[in-house]
Amino acid sequence: MAIKRYKPTTPSLRSIVRIDKSHLADKPGGGSLVKGKKKNSGRNNLGRITTRHRGGGNKNKYRMIDFRRKKKDVPAKVVQIEYDPNRTAFIALICYTDGEKSYILAPTGLEAGQMVVSADKAPNRPGNTMPLSSIRTGSFIHSVELRPGQGGLLARSAGSFAILKNKEAGWGFIELPSGELRKVPLTCCATIGRLSNVEHNLEKWGNAGRKRHKGWRPSVRGMIMNPCDHPNGGGEGRQKGKILRTPWGKVARGPKTRRSRPSDKHILRSRRKK
């Protein structure tokens, strides 16, 4: 994969950085796996704005991704690698030997024509799905389950991967991309490899028009507003000494926002390094 830069004939082309997608398929080949998708523009069922700065954007469709990989011991051939507008990683269209098609997340190195399989024991190759008990310690994995049969939940964005650190007493110790160390039952499944589109974080949209096509509307910084419009507004010049808050007065940086969950007891090391 390569980075594309453009001759700076306009101000926007000077700063734009894009990912080369020439290796991707031109059209989706999933057929019935591609569904229509309705937009809500950040509104709820009453039509009131619940998420600011959203709206518009190009029309796109949803690709049904198989996160569970329940079709066991049936090899599948990779038909093509595709772009998915609903996620940062690329996806792969696979066709099983019985003719059924499915979409999976495409790891780095997976190409059209290769074979993948979901089984209790399979070769340690990108795209193969196995229980953690059958995966070698130290392997790069993605789409990790938290409960058996639930489907992959962890490490699903572009370029991300988790590392299987250790196995002990029916538990697998996994280091997540955030640095968190969590234990997961060895009966949970994961897919081998690092996810594709590794250079996604280097991409720059370059102009406001591309951002509108993505479904983002303009936003105004609270610091440049008046005090009556935003808690961060007012003052002579830039006021950096203020405690940054949301428009509704809550502290914006620092406080914890994640509620306590039963699975917290499985976290051995928090992502917040001290």
CATH number of the domain to which 141 belongs: 2.40.50.140
Judge whether 1 and 19 are in contact, CB under 8 Å. Answer: yes
Task: Check if the beta carbon of residue 199 is closer than 8 Å to that of residue 11.
Answer: no
Q: 64 with 154, same domain?
A: yes
41: its two tokens: 């523009």
- Which of the pair, 243 or 181, is modelled with greater confidence? 181
Q: What is the pLDDT of residues 40-81, one digit of tens each?
A: 999 999 999 999 999 999 999 999 999 999 999 999 999 999
The parent domain of residue 249 ranges over: 222-274
> Does 158 lie in the same domain as 45?
yes
Q: Is the dihedral of CA 49, 51, 52, 55 positive or negative?
A: negative
197-212 in b/e form (b: 16+ CB < 10 A) is bbebeebebbeeeebb
Mean predicted confidence (pLDDT) in 150-163 = 96
197, 226: one domain: no
Cα–Cα distance, 3 to 51 (Å, whole number): 32
pLDDT digits (tens, 9 = 90+) for 183-234: 999 999 999 999 999 999 999 999 999 999 999 999 999 999 999 999 999 8
**Within a domain: residue 65?**
yes
From the number of C-beta atoms within 10 Å of its C-beta (0-12, 13-18, 19+), residue 73 rates as: exposed
In a domain, 96, yes or no: yes
Q: Does 18 lie in the same domain as 121?
A: yes
Q: Do both 59 and 187 map to the same domain?
A: yes
Do 190 and 83 lie in a common domain?
yes
Categorize the per-residue pLDDT at 254 as very low, low, confident or very high, splitting at 50, 70 and 90.
confident
Residue 253's pLDDT is 87
